[in-house]
C-alpha cells in the first residue's frame, strides 16, 4: 500500500473526528490477539481509532507505527494517546467505502 498524502490524511482525520476508539492497547502491549482484533475491525470499518498507553511521545509514535505495520494499515494521525488507522477494503460495499481525494 502506498503512503498517504497530506491531503488524504486531512480527509481521514476529518472523517475520524466523531469516531470513538474501538480498541484499547493494554499493559500487555501489542499481542497477536490485539493485532487480529485490529485487523478485523479494519476489515469492517476501514477507519478506526485505537487508544495506546501513556508514555513519552517517541514511545507512542513507535507503538502507532508498529500497530499500523502489524495490521497492514496506514496511520492517518496520532493525537495524544489516540491513533487513527486506515486500511481500504475492496470487498466492502461501494456505498460504504471511504473514497480518498
Bridge-based pairing state of the strands 47-51 and 74-79: unpaired
Confidence at residue 1, expressed as pLDDT on a 0 to 100 scale? 73
- Residue with grid cell 469492517, as numbered in its chain: 44
Residue 30, all three cell numbers:
501489542
Domain boundaries, the chain: 6-88
Q: How far, in Å, CA of 101 to CA of 98, rounded?
A: 10
The CATH code belonging to domain 6-88 is 3.30.110.60
Confidence at residue 28, expressed as pLDDT on a 0 to 100 scale? 87
Residue 39, all three cell numbers:
485487523
Q: Residue 69's closest CA among 32, 35, 19?
A: 35
Q: Residue 86's closest CA among 76, 96, 95?
A: 76
Per-position pLDDT tens, the chain of length 101: 789 999 999 999 999 999 999 999 988 888 999 999 999 999 999 999 999 999 899 999 999 999 999 999 999 999 999 999 999 999 988 888 999 99
Amino acid at each position: 500500500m502506498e503512503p498517504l498524502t497530506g491531503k488524504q490524511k486531512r480527509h481521514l482525520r476529518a472523517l475520524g473526528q466523531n469516531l470513538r476508539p474501538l480498541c484499547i492497547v493494554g499493559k500487555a502491549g501489542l499481542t497477536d490477539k490485539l493485532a487480529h482484533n485490529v485487523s478485523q475491525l479494519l476489515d469492517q470499518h476501514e477507519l478506526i481509532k485505537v487508544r495506546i498507553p501513556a508514555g513519552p511521545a517517541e514511545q507512542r509514535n513507535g507503538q502507532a507505527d508498529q500497530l499500523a505495520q502489524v495490521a497492514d494499515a496506514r496511520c492517518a494521525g496520532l493525537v495524544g494517546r489516540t491513533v487513527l488507522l486506515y486500511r481500504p477494503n475492496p470487498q466492502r460495499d461501494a456505498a460504504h467505502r471511504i473514497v480518498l481525494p
